[in-house]
Amino acid sequence: MKWSFASVGLILIGIFGIIIILLFNEITVSNEQDYYTLKEATEAAMIESIDITYYRLTGEIKMSQEKFVENFTRRFTETSTFGQGNYKIEYYQISETPPKVSLRIIDETNSYNIYTFKSDIGSTQAKIVNELSAILDVYK
Amino acid sequence: MIKKQKKYIYIFIILALIFNIKVMYVYASGDTSGGGNDSLDLGGGNGKGNSFCKTKHWYNPRYNYTLTSYTRLQWSIYDMYGNDIINGTKIAEYDAVKAGTWIGVNATETISANYTLTDVTATESFYGFTCRYTRDTGECESSQKTTCAEYGISGECLNGKPSDVSNCCKWNWKCTKYKTETITKSGEISKCEGEDSIDAKCKEMKPSGYNYKNGDYTSDEITRNVDGSELNNIKNTIKDKLCDAITNYVSSNSSKVLKYSSDDIYPSNASNTIISEGSGIEGKCESESGKKYQNYEYVQPQVCINIKTSKVTYGRKCNDDEFTIENGIAKDGNKYWHYFVPLNIKSTDNLYLQLVSDSDSNNYSNKICKSIMKKKTDAGEDYRAYISPADETITFTGDYETDIAKLGNKGKCKASISINIPIEQKFYNEIDENGTKKFKGFNFYYEPIDISNPFPNGLTQSSLWYEWLNDKSGEKLDISDSFSKKTYEINVNNLYAIRQYNSDYTDWSTMSLNGKNSFIDDYDITRYTNDFYPLGCGAKNSDASNKILYIKECTTNKYTGGITGGSG
């Protein structure tokens, strides 16, 4: 009898562990996915937003701020795998020349509520947040 | 004869161009000298509007003159800061021009001609004329009738020849004795002496007792030396003719054209849109020498760049999507216009610019052309920088023997100047592949940074951020404070809505010229800022005090509309 309970206990512990693993796996995969989407979309959007006319007139590299916002928004949403995703994209400091962006992606599709035993505190929502600052520079 | 001489004068002027080429401009000069009897047309006709008569009276000037002419093509190439970057006949590698950007071009031509006039002497030729008069001398003796008959007198003289006509006329025969008189013109001549006037003069000079035999006169050419004010008048006439000649030469030589390596994408050939602006003929003509010259400036009246596509066009009025690129003023005070270098030119491909005469009438003869080629070759210079074949199907290689053969014995040349401009490709990334340059992506790259220490390894001088890194002013962008102020925000609740927006990422159609993007408004992106430049504008060209090309629209196009969110 004692071994029977022990076996059941082990099974329950195993199941709980698997749940934990799956949970963190999803969190980390989503996080990694968001990060690379963020990185790739940022890179492409920055380069696509180069104001060539300004380059021809001055020889300087300048990025159009509003074009970047459009292109990044479009690229990020088009490469996200979650069809009905719930993201918040926040743009912060954007420098047109020299080109630099700072932005933050908040993935609200995969947020988690963490409850404590003290009911007066309520739940804490954990969101997957990625932020990135990047620049453009030249090879030579 | 006179007209032929006149023709020779102009032919001499054009054909006698001998070149003396200086650094970075073509100095094409020539001289011819002449003189001698009747070398200039001094007028003609029967006194109608002319000061001199040729039919009955004319001057024979003798003089020596020298005519010299030259054509000088010159240009300056300026960088974006207004510095002349031509060093000698070349542009130094360190002054290489960025592909896609512009250079300032100031192209001028000076047409000049002068003369010297020396050793002027002249003789005057005119006709003296002999009038014939008659008088009644009574009757002749019969023995003299024959003699009288010899003089055309009616009646008979039968007894031999009288010693003179008066003897003949002592007799009863009704003989007519005639007298000859030579009238020599003197004093100032103010009109031509036609036959009618000679006839009148003969009548006027009729001796007493004689009858003028109407229309019965002969003429002889008489010559005398001219001096004093009369000679000065002749000098002035010759001077005026020489002055006309050099003035015509200076005024008739224009119409040059700029050619350069064309490109299918950026920008199209602008050669047909360049116009010349003449300064007007200057200089003066004096009795012994004179000089006339005119400066032409070759300008591009309209240069437009499309703000969204960056395509450059020349020679037409700019439309609403284009900036009008006004001519600039270089540091040396010269006005220049903007030539945009193709964006996709490789650093191994020099940009070749050439300014060439577009007037066939000003072509240099085969002899002069070969002379220039030899002179420049002997001097170790490339004659292609100064002349080009008039026949555009021929291209000089730079090898003297080869090009002489190409030119043949009839080929002509045009005055031209040319230059190779070294290019550095800073927009596209160039890679070496089998010894040739190929484009692979762009020359700029993306790099994530740690805002607390963005450049831990420092930066090279070519970095876009080098200036920022070394800016000690305290007014530079505070990267460490990157996340303190939100500028845009969007809640993407339905990805499909944005995914349905189907447009190329490089399509700038949603962008307004003031830098505002309608996409942001259409897709509910909250805008917390209006701090951005109009398209084509930035710190370098938005301030008239900046040294790089100032675009006034960068000030007037500035977006000053409200933001759609709070302070963020």
Q: Minimal Cα–Cα distance from B536 to chain A, Å?
A: 4
Q: Say what the pLDDT of residue A93 is.
A: 95
Q: What residues in A contact B494, CB-CB < 8 Å?
A: 84
Q: Minimal Cα–Cα distance from A28 to chain B, Å?
A: 20
Phi, psi of B77 (to 5 degrees): -115, 130
Q: Is the pLDDT of residue A110 over 80?
A: no
| Model confidence pLDDT, tens digit, residues B293-342 | 988 888 888 889 999 999 888 878 899 999 999 888 999 998 898 988 88
Q: Say what the pLDDT of residue A58 is.
A: 92
Task: Indicate yes or no: CB of B426 within 8 angstroms of CB of A57.
Answer: no
Considering Cα of B154, then B155, then B160, then B163, what sign does the dihedral take?
A: negative
Q: What percent of chain B has pLDDT above 90?
A: 24
Q: A114 at the B interface (CB within 8 A)? A: no
Q: Say what the pLDDT of residue B183 is.
A: 57
Q: Is the pLDDT of residue B71 over 50?
A: yes
CA atoms within 13 A on the CB side of B407: 29
Host H or E run for residue B406: helix B400-407
Q: B439 at the A interface (CB within 8 A)? A: no
Of the candidates A54, A74, A77, the beta carbon closest to that of B536 is on: A54
Chain A, residues 87-106, CB within 8 A of chain B, namely 87-100, 102, 104
CA dihedral A98, A99, A104, A107 (to 10 degrees): -170
| Model confidence pLDDT, tens digit, residues B406-450 | 999 989 988 787 788 889 999 999 999 888 889 999 999 999 999
CA distance B27 to B25: 6
The three-class DSSP label of residue B413 is strand
Highest mean pLDDT among A42-51, A73-82, B212-221, B384-393: A42-51
Parallel, antiparallel or unpaired: strands B423-424 and B97-98: parallel
Longest dimension (CA), chain B: 153
CA distance B535 to B522: 20
Best interface-test mutation with B: which of A76, A137, A140 has the largest number of B CBs within 10 A?
A137
Q: Say what the pLDDT of residue B66 is.
A: 87
Q: Is the pLDDT of residue B489 over 70?
A: yes
| Model confidence pLDDT, tens digit, residues B161-175 | 444 444 444 444 444
Q: Is the pLDDT of residue A92 over 50?
A: yes
| Model confidence pLDDT, tens digit, residues B123-182 | 887 766 667 676 655 444 444 444 454 554 444 443 434 444 444 444 444 444 455 555
Q: Minimal Cα–Cα distance from B277 to chain A, Å?
A: 26
Q: B463 at the A interface (CB within 8 A)? A: yes
Q: Establish, for the pair of chains A and B, how many residue pairs have beta carbons separated by less than 8 Å.
A: 226
Question: CA angle, A103 as apex, A98 and A108 as ends, to 5°?
Answer: 165
Q: A81 at the B interface (CB within 8 A)? A: no
Task: Indicate yes or no: CB of A57 within 8 angstroms of CB of B541.
Answer: yes
Q: A35 at the B interface (CB within 8 A)? A: no
Task: Indicate yes or no: CB of B492 within 8 angstroms of CB of A86.
Answer: yes
Host H or E run for residue A3: helix A2-48
List the strands of the sheet with B303-306, edge to edge: B312-314, B303-306, B322-324
Which position has the token pair 């060439």?
B356
Q: A140 at the B interface (CB within 8 A)? A: yes
| Model confidence pLDDT, tens digit, residues B525-563 | 999 998 899 999 998 888 877 667 888 888 888 888 767
CA distance B482 to B343: 34
Task: Indicate yes or no: CB of A77 within 8 angstroms of CB of B505.
Answer: no
CA distance A73 to B503: 13
Task: Indicate yes or no: CB of B484 within 8 angstroms of CB of A140.
Answer: no
Which position has the token pair 């693993």?
A21
Task: Indicate yes or no: CB of A134 within 8 angstroms of CB of B449.
Answer: yes
Q: A51 at the B interface (CB within 8 A)? A: yes
Q: Is the pLDDT of residue B49 over 70?
A: no
Chain B, residues 111-150, CB within 8 A of chain A, namely none
| Model confidence pLDDT, tens digit, residues B239-280 | 999 999 899 888 865 555 555 544 433 334 455 567 777 778
Q: Minimal Cα–Cα distance from B418 to chain A, Å?
A: 24
Of the candidates B491, B494, B538, the beta carbon closest to that of A58 is on: B538
Q: What residues in A contact B538, CB-CB < 8 Å?
A: 51, 54, 58, 60, 62, 96-97
**Structure token pair of residue B90:** 């070349």
- Which residues on adjacent β-strands are paired with residue A95? A100
Q: Minimal Cα–Cα distance from B323 to chain A, Å?
A: 10
Q: What residues in B contact A84, CB-CB < 8 Å?
A: 494-496
pLDDT band of B24, cuts 50, 70, 90: very low
